[in-house]
Structures are given as C-alpha cells and as structure tokens.
Structure 1
Amino acid sequence: MPTLAYVGVDVGTSSTKGVLVGPDGAILRSATRAHAVQRPAPGHVEMDARVWWDELVAIVTLLTDDLAPGAARGADVPGDLEVAALGVSGMGPCVLLADEAGEPVRPAILYGVDTRATRQIAELDAALGRDTVLDRCGSALSSQAAGPKIAWVREHEPDVWARARRLFMPASYLAFRLTGAYVLDHHSASQSTPLYDPRTHAWIDDWADLVAPGLELPALRWAGEAAGVTREPLGGVPAGTPVTTGTIDAWSEAVSVDAHRVGDLMVMYGTTTFLVATVAEPLRSETMWGTVGAYPGTHNLAGGTATSGAITSWLRELTGADYPDLLAEAAASGPGAQGLLMLPYLAGERTPVQDPHARGVVAGLTLEHTRGDLYRAALEATAFAVRHNLETMRDAGAEITRAVAVGGGTQGDLWTQIVSDVTGLPQAVPARTIGASYGAAMLAAGIAHEHGHLVDVAAWNPPVRVVEPDPALRATYDELYALYRDLYPASRAVVHALTHRTEGAPA
C-alpha cells in the first residue's frame, strides 16, 4: 500500500501558495509564487487569471515532479509516496468572466477591495429593495458582492459582455482547468449577492436574469466535494486524480484550523484581516456578510477589513526597515503608541463600516514620534477594527465561544497579543498556521477518504498555545477604542472631500 499525500494550492491577493502534505498532516514541502494585482483606475483592482493557472502549474510541478513514475525521489519524501488528491482555494468573491470554452474575456475583478460598482449597488438596491436582498440573500449589497460587478461589466464593457458566457472564481477556474468541470461551491455562490439563496441553496433565477442575462451559471457543489479528476498528468500528479471543488480562501483557512463548528471564530491575519463566525442559523446583519459555510448544513456571519497586513507592508516599504526591527520598535512603543491613533482604512473599509471612500487617518502626530510608534498604531488600528467587527457580530446574535488565529500574522507574538488585549478574546494558535493552502489539502484528504482511504484530518492541526488577553490593559484599550470609534465619524466629511478631489468619488 503506497503512502498517500495531498496537494493544496491557494491563490491569494499577493501570492499563490502550495503544500504537499503527508498522511499524518505533516507539511512535507511548500512553495510560493508572488504576484501583484493591477489597479487600472481608482477603485479598480484586477488580476489576469492566466497567472493563477501558470502559478498552480509551477507550484504543483515543483512540489511533486520527483513523484512521477520513474523519477528519483527526493530525500524529504518516502519512496512510495503518491498524490491521492488535489485541493484548490482562492481569494474571493471575484468575478472572472469567460467565454464558452472557459477562456477569460477580461481580467478578474477582485473582492471587496475593488469598489468600482458603487452606482450598480444603488441601482440594484432601488430595483430589488435593499431589505428584500438582505432578507433573501443573507447579505446586503456592498463592494464585496459579485453581482454588482457583473452588472458593471455589462454596462461599461458591452463588447466584453457579449463574449461572456461563464462565471468563475479562482478556485473554480483552477478546478475547471484541471478537470473540465464547470462548478462553483455553495459558499462562493453565497457571496455572489444577489444571485444565490442560502436557504434553498440554489441560484435565484429571476434575479440572475436581471443582473447577468445570458450568463450560464455554474453547477453548485460543496467545497469538499470533487469537481472531477485531472485530465492530464501534472508534475507527479497523475491523470485521474480527484480535485476538490474548493472555496474562498478564508473558508479554506477556517477548515485548516478546524474552526467550523457553532461558536467558533476564525481570525485570519493576512493582507486583510478576515473573520468567520460559525452560527447555528442564518443571522441578519446590514453591515456583515451572512453566508453558508464550507460544509453542508453550516452557516456563517463573516466580516473583513480592506487592509491590515497591507498596512504593515506599506510601512516597511516606506521606512526601509525590516519586520523584526519594526516589531521590536513597536513593542517598545507600548500600548497607545505614544499618543498615536490610526484609522486603518487605507483602501476604504469593508465591514462593518462599508465605506469604499473611507481613507486612513493618523491622529496625534508630533515631531517626536518614530516609525515604531507608527507601526504600533497600525497594529492597534487593525485590532480596533477586529473589535468593531466582533461587537457587530454579537449584536446580530452570534455567540462566539472559541477563537482560532491563522495566517502569516500569527508568526510573531505582538500582533495577536494586541488583538487579544483589545478584544478581551483568547485566541488558540494551532501547530500549523500556513493557511488556506493547508485547508485545501485537508479538503483533498476528505475526497481521498471518500475513495476508501482513511484519514484522521481532525488530528492534523491541534492548538499548541493560547494567546490570553492582559487584563491590566483592558481599561487603556477600552478608552482608546472609544476614541477610535469617534475618529471615523469626526473625520468622514473631510476624508470624503479629499477622496472626491483625487478620485472623483462622491463627496
């Protein structure tokens, strides 16, 4: 009996990552390919989908090439290792329109960081009724929703729209290229507001005809179901290997840390911060996202910032310092960042502010402040944003009994500690926090299990530590959080006027 392995690949905002995972959950190999998004106009964030496929091919080949028949095995893998299944996931919800053959007709429009469809949101709200959409779809229309972006293409690019026949997201596009199956997972569909009904788990045909007339919507499956099997060998992955339908990266990350039971909250530290709370039944919130989960019978209330790790990257590039120095200086700065307070809305803000025209604000600057103070203020700002999301979730009825942290930001202790101190919420940190690619491999292992291979996925990634909040800092951060909440409405009119001057956004 061969030793079975699983490959997981995730397409993120700034890179594609892949892992080769052994039968006990150990990561045998990993690979990353960096990429960049395009910003062709203010508020527009796009990416060429061909990059997703090229990077998947490169990563899978790198991870598995020596597993092909007759190849000399590397010393880091067992000699009888075979890939049993391949899992995919990716950022989203994205809008990738393609022709009948699945060839993209334009670059993919990204998730809530792309804010182009403001007018289409207003028009659909007027046509369908904002409350009606919220009640039927679980989420109000916002920059996160896929539907208004489809409408934007139909209005602004009629020649492109005339060639569009299919709708993909990163995971579904990779699954299609691998297997030929035109499918989309239910969770991704539930972020395609107003096209999907999370209660009936079906497309809303009349609204789809209004928003996307003539577009053939994909067949719906759950993230852990097989899309099909590989049509051709790829590296050491043989033809006929099962491929998952896959899902959006944050939900794959929740899978990777076993945070998908009622009461669980997944906090993803990445380019953006994403939060997924698993709830017993659909909840109504005007400013959060109600979705179905990665698994059948699950429901989520989710939220996300437009930036978080992106701010730390920006500050690193701006100052020319490396991360260890900035983290050390931020730790030395101490709670409150020596009197600095930041709004982290450098690319607008998603939940619960829902303001694509918001921008970053730094209050309290003096000539004495250092880059370490700015870095500390940025970390605290993202923590305040997490608290704002948590409070909104709880106000909507979500009960949060367990939080699990995942993503690149968990590698250092400072960021997670600040979030726990600001929110008062302990966070479990699992053994492996590599994120969505690992969750994609877990979903792949589930498919292999369905084909008769026994895999104890639940034992793959246990928690190894818990970040406990410091009660001595609660009063300090309660005071600063109140000021944070005051700063946005106090500065909104000025910021909107500035945004209008530079980008033509509504003042």
Structure 2
Amino acid sequence: MYVGIDVGTSMVKAAAFDAVGRQLAVESRPVGLTMHGGVVEQDMEEVYGEVVAVLEALTSAVAEPVELAGLTGQGDGVWLVDGEGRPVRPAASWMDGRAHELVDRWLADGTFETVFRRTGGAMFPGSPGPLLAWLERHEPKSLDAAKAAVYCKDMVFQRLTGAGSTTDVSDASMPFLDPRTRTYDNRVVELLGLAHRRGLLAPVSDPVATAGARGEGLPPGTRIANGPYDLPACALGAGVTSPGDGLLIVGTCLASLVATTELDLTGEPAGLYISTDRPGHWLRAMPAMVGTAALDWVLSTTGVRHDEVDGLLAGTPPGANGVRVLPYFAPSGERAPFVEPRLRAELTGVSLESSRGDLVRATCEGIGYAARHCLAAAGLTGSLAVCGGGTRSSAWMRLLADVLGRPLRVVEGEVGARGAVLAAAERYGVPLDAEVWTKPTAVVEPDPDRAAFYARGYEEHLDRLAGARARARK
C-alpha cells in the first residue's frame, strides 16, 4: 500500500491507497489550537504524537506492506525546532494575528509591495516573515534557542526519519523564495530585519527530501518523501497541473489555486506564487483565511448540526431572504485576493423574521462569493476541481456551482494525502498513473437561472466588500 500523511490545522490524517489509487482506509485524530488575543498556537508534541498514532492505527488496520509514504501538511506559520526537530516553543499558526502591526507598517512604507515584486508572495500576519520579525522583537531568546524555523510537515519529517532540518520549494515560497531562481532572496531577509537570523531558514531541498523511517508509526526503513505542503499537494491529488486549470479547496482555509507557466508580479499584491516540483511551473494561489471555519462558527453559534446543513440549504431560497454575510472571520483579517489585516466579518439584513436557514445559506453564499473573487484574481480559464471537507455537503456543492457559474469536478477523499503519495512516487521513480489516481468522483453543473441570480449577487458582494475594507482602514 501507499500511505499519504496530511498534517492539517485541526486534524491529522493518514490514508492508505492501492496501486491504482483506490482509498483503502483513513485514520484521523484531532489536534488542538489555542487562541487568545490574536495569538494562535499549536503544541508540536501533540501534533507529532497524533501523527504517530494515526500511522500506527492505519498500518494495523490494513495488513499490507508499505511501499512508500508521502508527507504533506499545513503551510505558513513558524515552527521553531532544535537540532533534533523538537520544539523550542509552541508553533505559531498561519492563523496567528499578533504581527498585524508589522504588516500594517510594511504596507504603509512600501516594504510589503517590494517583497511581493521580488518573490510573488503577499505577506500576511501568519506568514513566516512577519512572525519571525515579531519574535525577534518580543521573544529573541526563542530564536536564539532554535536551530531552524521550519514548517509543519518539515518538523514531522525530521522526527519520523531523523534527517536534518529541510523544507521544499512550495513551503519556502512565502515569503523568502525567489520563484525564478528557487533560492532564498537575501534582500527580502534584510528588508524584514532578519539578516542576522538568515541561518534559521531551513535549507531548500529541490526536489523534495527523502529518507527512511526510524520506526515510529511506520516500519523502519519505509521510504518517505517530504512535501509539497497541503495546497500544492491537493492540486496534484486533484489532477490540476495544466495551465489555466484551477482547484478550490473548501476546507478550514478557502484556497483557490490556478496552474500557470506565467510569472506576473504586477497588479495588486495578494496571494502568492507557489513553486512546484517542475521549474517554470507555478500555482497562482489565493488562499483566503476562512473557509469552513466561518460556517463552523455560524453553526456553533446558531446550534445547527452539520447533518442539518443540506436540509436548511434546500429549504431556503437563493439570496437567503435578504441576509448577507461577508465571511472574513479570521483574527488576522484577510490575505487573498487582497491583504486587509483589520478586516472583520459583517452580517447584514437580519431581522426577527430571519431563520437559522437564512444565516446558514447566507454564510455559504458569502464563502462562494469570496471563492469567485479569488479564482478570478488567480486567473482561472480552464476547468475547476473542488475538494475538501465542504464537498461532503451535496447541497453546498450545488450552491457553489451556481455562485461560481461553472461546472465543478468534485474530487472526494483524502486529496492532499493522495497528492503527497503522487509526489513521493515521482521522487522515488515509482510508476503510478496520475490520471487514474485523480479521476473526479462527480461533476456538478450550475443551474442557468440561479447562476444569473448569483452573478448579480456577486457584484453586490464586491460593493459591500469595498465598504468594509474602507471601514477597516479607519
């Protein structure tokens, strides 16, 4: 069997596949997040412990030898480790907002734009540059104690294999990597006041690093490949590799990706260009801060269960009886397709006559409008695949097809883990048929009348968003 490991923000998963990509089994464990005052952190020992636990459960459940394993996980944030890959402090999550004042300053003085023009990455508070700069100002002893500032999957790879600290071009893309040379841009490091911390940046392994397992969770000697991180891994797992084709990941993060061979560093600085395993090929990424997390908050607040969502969507008309949601719930504001650290969610059109269904539908519509905005900015011209936890709701998929006004190639299952296996197979020279592995499970067509309705609603969404952004800057 082939094992894909996906170390997510709220869930750690391991999936087993056979040689033609059939998903044999999945094991998962939740991992915690601590949130207070804009600070969002994770316990690295908990994360690693749950990785080992899911691997042990998976290899016990499927009595087949492991041919190889691919590793992926959440991107951004700062995971400070010592020489053995062990934490020197809790991991700062990509959702962390403590560095927003630094981002505000860099937006005002031109540093933000300069970095984007050099690297194609628009910094946000939870990206490594601002977080490292914040730690330098407020926790320099943590940086002194660290051997490397890595990313989530890199910490796991080091612990599973005993290899040294390393990362790959996809994780390194934000915000220090020059996408043309695929090496760190030392001028960017200097601009962020981190020149004397340059040694903390993990060496970039291009292509991704490989090593054998030490025996925790996987049999000793099992071949493991590290990377790419979850967004490009999902693109691989969904078969999004041809220029112009796109992927929408409806997960905790609402991520829009479009494959491209064109590197355009003009225009409004937002999102990033993710370097892939093929030089000259990038993913133009617009990873919005809040996806299913926004819906989860609304469900929790209104007391709606997840299994009630489809029924509520079916029982509420398009437009949600006038209720509107701008779904920018993240403590660190928004990062795509624009950067607005102080932007917050807005709920309008609510009255005593509004129902729970109205609130749920308005939230799903708002997330759909945000996705449409991101995909347009990313340059989508071809087909669109969709994956993530949101695909489990058939009603939401129909709503998304209508809001986006295009067919959706739904790819179910553990798509990130699937992509991690395909990346590992490429690295080890194992012949797997990527077309067979990435075949969609369904195609959802939009309804023409509802699509026309939502096209008008999208223009209204952009108008409301412009007002909200203006208020956030005051």
Instruction: Give a deviation string over 1:428-486, Cα, whole Å, max 9, x none.
Output: 113x33231222233233344x2xx4322331231232111211123321222222112
TM-score (ref. length: structure 1): 0.86
Q: Displacement of 1:107 after TM fit?
A: 1.2
Structure 2 match to 1:110: 93
For 1:276 and 1:51, the matched residues in 2 are separated by 30
2:287 is aligned, of 289, 295, 304, to 304
Matched, 1:94 2:77: yes
Q: Residue 499 of structure 1 corresponds to which residue in structure 2?
A: none
The answer as to whether partners of 2:79 and 2:151 remain within 8 angstroms in 1 is yes
For 2:73 and 2:183, how far apart are their aligned partners in 1?
A: 22
- SS at 1:106 equivalent: coil
Does 1:134 find its partner at 2:129? no
Report how far residue 268 of structure 1 moved: 0.3
CA distance in structure 2 between the aligned counterparts of 1:273 and 1:369, rounded to whole angstroms: 26
Deviation at 1:141, TM superposition (A): 2.7
Please list the CA deviations of residues 4-34 of structure 1 after superposition, one character each: whole Å capped at 9, or x if unmatched: x111111111111111111121111111101
- Asked whether the equivalents of residues 80 and 88 of structure 2 are also in contact (C-alpha less than 8 Å), the reply is yes
- AA of the residue aligned to 2:313: A
2:21 is the counterpart of 1:22:
no
Distance 2:319 2:46 in 1: 42
Q: Which residue in the other structure is 1:344 paired with?
A: 327
Task: Specify the alignment match of 1:45 in structure 2.
Answer: 40
Structure 2 CA distance for partners of 1:196 and 1:128, relative to 1, 3 Å: farther
Deviation, structure 1 residue 358: 1.4
Task: Show the 5 A alignment for 1:221-240.
Answer: 221-222=205-206, 225-230=208-213, 232-235=214-217, 237-240=218-221
Structure 2 SS opposite 1:267? strand
For 1:263 and 1:196, locate their aligned partners in 2 and report how far apart those are by CA, in whole Å. Answer: 23
Are the counterparts in 1 of residues 257 and 375 from structure 2 also a CA contact under 8 Å? no
Among 466, 476, 480, the residue aligned to 2:443 = 466
Q: Tell me the distance in 2 between the aligned counterparts of 1:454 and 1:125.
A: 47
C-alpha deviation, 1:44, in angstroms: 1.6
| Contact kept in structure 1, 2:276 and 2:283, CA below 8 Å | no
- What's 2:423 paired with? 443
Call closer, same or farther: CA 1:102–1:323 in 2, change over 3 Å.
Answer: closer
Counting only pairs closer than 5 Å after superposition, residues 50-89 of structure 1 correspond to structure 2 as 50-65=45-60, 77=63, 81-89=64-72
Equivalent pair of 1:340/1:365 in contact (CA under 8 Å):
yes
After TM superposition, give the deviation of residue 187 of structure 1 in Å. Answer: 0.9
Larger Rg: 1
Return the letter of the residue paired with 1:409: G
Shift in Å, 1:126: 7.1
- Trace 1:107-506 onto structure 2 (pairs within 5 A): 107-111=90-94, 113-124=95-106, 129-179=111-161, 180-191=163-174, 193=175, 195-208=176-189, 210-211=193-194, 213-214=196-197, 215-222=199-206, 225-230=208-213, 232-235=214-217, 237-284=218-265, 285-297=267-279, 298-347=281-330, 348-393=333-378, 398-430=379-411, 432-448=412-428, 450=429, 453-492=430-469, 496=472
Distance 1:200 1:26, change over 3 A: same
User: Aligned partners of 2:25, 2:298: CA distance in 1, in Å?
Assistant: 31
CA distance in 2, matches of 1:144, 1:303: 15
Aligned residues: CA RMSD? 2.1
Per-residue deviation, 1:148 = 1.4
Can you give the 5+ residue segments of structure 1 that lack an aligned partner in the other structure? 66-73, 497-505
Q: 2:5 corresponds to which residue? A: 9
Conservation of the 8 A alpha-carbon contact between 2:39 and 2:96: yes
- What is the alpha-carbon distance in structure 2 between the residues aligned to residue 206 and residue 481 of structure 1? 40
- Structure 2: any 5+ residue segments left out of the alignment? none
Match of 1:71 in 2: none
Question: 1:136: how far off?
Answer: 1.1
Q: Which amino acid aligns with 1:200?
A: T
In the alignment, the residues of structure 1 paired with residue 72 and residue 408 of structure 2 have an alpha-carbon distance, to the nearest angstrom, of 24
Match of 1:83, SS state, is: coil
Structure 2 distance, partners of 1:488, 1:369, is: 22
More displaced 10-residue stretch of structure 1: 461-470 or 18-27: 461-470
Tell me, yes or no, if the aligned pair for 1:340 and 1:377 is still in contact at 8 Å. Answer: yes
Q: Deviations over 1:384-434 (max 9, x none)?
A: 1011112222xxxx352111011111122222222221221211113x332
- 1:185 to partner: Cα distance: 0.7
Please tell me whether the aligned partners of residues 247 and 384 of structure 2 are also in contact (alpha carbons under 8 angstroms): yes
Q: 1:339 to 1:488 in 2, by over 3 A?
A: same
Give the counterpart letter for 1:239 in structure 2: P
Aligned-partner Cα distance in 2 for 1:49–1:377:
36
Helix, strand or coil at the partner of 2:53:
helix
Q: Give the whole-Å Cα distance in 1 for the aligned partners of 2:303 and 2:316.
A: 19
Secondary structure at 1:82 match in 2: coil
Asked if 2 retains the 8 angstrom alpha-carbon contact of 1:307 and 1:346, the reply is: yes
More deviation, 7-16/303-312: 303-312
Instruction: State the SS of the aligned residue for 1:268.
Output: strand
Work out the CA distance in 1 between the residues paired with 2:166 and 2:108: 31
Task: Report the AA paired with residue 333 of structure 1.
Answer: T
Aligned-partner SS, 1:240: coil
AA aligned opposite 2:345? G
Aligned equivalents of 1:464 and 1:206: distance in 2? 46
CA 1:213–1:402: 2 relative to 1, 3 Å: same
Amino acid at match of 1:335: P
Shift of 1:329: 1.4
Superposition deviation, residue 63 in structure 1? 0.7
SS state at 1:333 partner: coil
Percent identical pairs in the alignment equals 30
Return the letter of the residue paired with 1:273: L
Residue 35 of structure 1 deviates from its aligned partner by 1.7
Aligned residues: 466
| Contact persistence 1:242–1:447 (CA under 8 A) | no
